[in-house]
A and B are shown apart, each in its own frame.
Chain A
Amino acid sequence: MDQQPREAKEATPPPPVIDPRESYARINREVAGIPLGRPSLGWFLAALLGLLLTGLLAVTITWLLWRGVGIWGVMIPVAWGFAITNFVWWIGIGHAGTFISAFLLLMHQDWRTSINRFAEAMTLFAVSCAGLFPLLHMGRPWLFYFLLPYPDTMGLWPQWRSPLVWDVFAVSTYLLVSLLFWYAGLVPDLATMRDRAKSKLAKILYGVFALGWRGSARHWQRQELAYVLLAGLATPLVISVHSVVGLDFAAAIVPGWHSAFFPPYFVAGAIFSGFAMVLTLAIPLRSIYGLEGLITQRHLSNMAKMMLVTGLIVDYSYAMEIFMSWYSDDKFEWATTVYRMFGNYAFVFWIIILCNICMPQFFWFERVRTSPLALFVVALFCQLGMWLERYMIVITSLAHDFMPSAWRTFHGTFWDWTMLIGTIGFFGLAFILFVRVLPSISMSEARELIHRVHKGLGEPPGSGG
């Protein structure tokens, strides 16, 4: 392919964002058919696995509440341990969903249409998993409401100058706004489900949540306006959430955390890991349910390109982090950097280099970008790399701060691992149930897209390559 003359290569149009053979009826059948059809044996097995792991999560949480956070490996000085690592990882994964649905909508990127719905669902589930960790890490989670501004008898208020309080507001706002945005787009599709459902119970349940939507032109106009407004609100929100998470670290004076570029560095890492998760979910989804006409090669390839871009920003941040630590001439900063590369956790550092710097470079090649299997494997590496990156940031800085007498190495205990695996199981179960209950692809937007393609109106300028 590389032997082709350059002009000929540029003249080839990119593959379409929707298979032109799709039609209104086919979209309805393909998408609405998943929840309304019979679940397969494979679905039951996957759900069973998810249920077992969710059970493991429930056991872990019960034991945690019974015994306290001491069942985890956390101690002084490494008080944040797995809990904050997992929190940052999960919330980062959520970011791609909002990025796809909000930012790409404002940028008129048509290829978001088929992937926004399940990416937003992914966001909701990932943020729910993320929220569990700081909550349980408090030790007495039943007193979580101390963090909220409410008129208490002690006359106390939250500490507004603390990034940890900002986190409470940022994460809860993020969850609620994502839910509203998701629902605003879901209502017309729920009406389709109501009208296609055969069983009485399904008709009633879909009908209740469809709110009596009837597709009036007046309703569509207001719905579209509200949807764009919500997208405009969600776009700065998604940037703010991981910025605040970055500030949790940057505001501390711990070496390895105290740097001004943490907010943008964290946002780029979040979108990178989120797109990796969207690929991990999209590739099996489209092949199991035969949705290749809606989630096309172009979608996968574009997501790979997004990962490449954000991955390069992350790589730049790694380089800058090391450079600034040397250039600052701060002995503690430099000691932490050397410790990360050659200390007790050196293997983590080098796996991160492999996963987050080397692996995404495969996305330069079209062969890789058009191979679902290769994309899936690379995406898994990137997710592992991003988890380890947060692990490195949280653990190494705390384990090796100013005074050698205070240094201690941290290792996750059995219950640390069950908690992490349990949330992965819960996330998987929630996603599996979502696929069976709600339309995973926005049918109304897909219909609009296929209408434009059929009428030869094509794609608007700048619909992404």
Chain B
Amino acid sequence: MQEETPWIEDTERQGQVYGIMVEFEEPEPLLAAARRARAQGYTCLDAYSPFAVEGLIELIGERDHRVATMTLIGGLTGGVTGYVMQYFAATVSYPFNIGGRPLHSAPAFIPVTFELTILFAAFFALISMLLMNGLPRPYHPVFNVPTFARASQDRFFLCIRADDARYDAATTRTFLESLGGVGVYDVDA
């Protein structure tokens, strides 16, 4: 399942076609359509919906767990940063004897370590999610379809991209029209 490259230079595709799109009113026909497109051998697919549709990602592409990995890395970074910073400050940079307590007061270092773990992990989670999604990206060819504004409201779209090996303007269009959607649109690049 090929994901399109984010940040692609759209000017290179002037006058070309990005793909063809079919519109549905409910998520179930969209799921059925995606299944049939896969059966037809199409691989460069994308689906757009106003809420997360269960089971759709498995038909369109693959689950991407890298956000979780990045969050773990962020958390570990934050935790290590927090603890090392306190250890360095309290024992090396500014050792200060307070009532004979050990300079390396491990239990007292836990709260700040914990807070920084959470803080870093949260930033990594959100930022990695946005960057892997290729956002922010103000312009995208799919926005050229006038009814696509409803993809964020109450309509469900399946798009077959023109860079698909099996893409052919006429046959792909006929195939999409056979899926029983409420409309089929060319997506200008």
Contacts and interface: CB of A to CB of B under 8 A. Distances in A.
Interface residues of B, number: 66
B17 interface: no
A230 B112 contact: no
A295 B121 CA distance: 32
Interface residues of A, number: 64
B133 A223 contact: yes
Interface in B99-123: 101, 105, 108-109, 111-112, 114-116, 118-119, 121-123
Given A212-B136, A218-B133, A220-B52, A25 B154 contact: yes
A149 B85 contact: yes
A214 interface: yes
Nearest to B111: A166
A224 B148 CA distance: 22
A192 B150 CA distance: 8
Given A160-B105, A169-B115, A218 B51 contact: no
Nearest to B75: A233
A207 B135 CA distance: 12
Contact of A215 (B71, B130, B151): B151
A241 B53 CA distance: 35
Contacts of B53: 217, 220
Specify the main secondary structure of chain B where it touches its partner. helix
Interface stretch (B57-65, B167-175, B178-186): B57-65
A222 interface: yes
A288 B26 CA distance: 31
Contacts of A217: 46-49, 53, 56-57, 60-61
A195 B153 CA distance: 8
Interface in B69-128: 71, 75, 85-86, 89-90, 93-94, 98, 101, 105, 108-109, 111-112, 114-116, 118-119, 121-123, 125-126, 128
B32 interface: no
Interface string A184-217: 1001100110111000000000011001111111
B85 A155 contact: no
Interface string A413-450: 00000000000000000000000000000011101100
B151 A184 contact: no
Contacts of A165: 112
Contacts of B51: 188, 220, 444-445, 447-448, 451
B98 A161 contact: yes
B46 to A, nearest CB: 5
B122 A233 contact: yes
Contacts of A445: 51
A157 B94 contact: yes
A160 B108 contact: yes
13 contacts: A28-B154, A160-B90, A176-B122, A176-B123, A192-B152, A211-B135, A215-B48, A216-B48, A218-B64, A226-B71, A234-B122, A240-B114, A451-B51
Interface of B: 3, 26-28, 46-53, 56-57, 60-61, 63-65, 67-68, 71, 75, 85-86, 89-90, 93-94, 98, 101, 105, 108-109, 111-112, 114-116, 118-119, 121-123, 125-126, 128-130, 132-133, 135-140, 142-143, 148-154
The list of the 4 closest CB pairs from A to B, nearest first, reads A24-B154, A226-B129, A211-B136, A157-B89
Given A24-B50, A196-B149, A244-B111, 6 more contacts: A161-B105, A169-B111, A211-B135, A214-B152, A215-B48, A451-B27
